[in-house]
Amino acid sequence: MASAAFPTRKISETIIDFAQPMLAQVDSTTSQESIRQGFMIAVTIWNVFVLDRVNGNSDYQTLMRKQLGAQWEANPVIKALVERRLKNFADDMRCISDHHVSFNADGYNLRATASDPYASKKR
């Protein structure tokens, strides 16, 4: 299977853009741990759609729906992330293999590493 053509925009910038529904909820009272957890949710949702497309099924979505239960549809942030992934980022097939959120006086900094999800299919 051939690798996808990947966007040139940094994956960290793309994830910050993608995570806007979560980031819109952040204010001065939001803990650093809550922001880290928010990015973990965003990255997980991102990767679910990449891996399902690479595998040609919806196994990861099914698993996530099962794990989240009613939250998959009822939680407005999760619902918005799923909709944004499908509407605005569907063709970005980079898998996020690692990410780290750090904090400074200006707020947060996201570092992320993208990988080619097709790499394991080439073996």
Instruction: Give the three-class secondary structure for 103.
Output: strand
Q: What's the DSSP call for residue 56? A: T
d(CA 93, CA 34): 27
pTM over 0.85: yes
Terminal Cα-to-Cα distance of the chain (whole angstroms): 10
**Whole-number Å distance between alpha carbons of 82 and 87:** 9
| 14-60 tens-digit pLDDT | 999 999 999 999 999 999 999 999 999 999 999 999 999 999 999 99
Give me the phi and psi of 113, to 5 degrees please. -120, 130
**Enclosing H/E stretch for 114:** strand 107-115
